[in-house]
Amino acid sequence: MRSNKATKLWIVNILSFILFSILTFTGLINWLLLPRGYRGGVDGVLISLRHFLREVHQWAALLFIFIVLVHLILHWPYIKSNLNKHGILK
């Protein structure tokens, strides 16, 4: 059982790292490199890329929130024991 939980935690940690990397990459590209607004012409391709990256960013954010919740659920016994130890949760 312990090995199974460790495997689940490892998978959750890897997925959270991948999703965080996607969030960082898409956020920085949209913020620093791609043009804002619509100007037509060649910029039209960049605007389309910007919209695509925004969609990827939003879906990655939702998945990241879900993975963080799974992470908290898997660590709940540890969190609960520490809250009990410090008298916060009884």
34-73 confidence digits (pLDDT tens): 877 766 566 677 788 888 999 999 999 999 999 999 999 9
Rounded to whole angstroms, how far apart are CA atoms 5 and 11?
Answer: 10
Question: For residue 76, which of 9, 15, 4 has the smallest C-alpha distance?
Answer: 9
Per-domain boundaries in the chain:
2-85
Global pTM value: 0.82
User: For residues 13 and 74, what is the distance between their CA atoms, to the nearest angstrom?
Assistant: 11
pLDDT digits (tens, 9 = 90+) for 72-84: 999 999 999 998 8
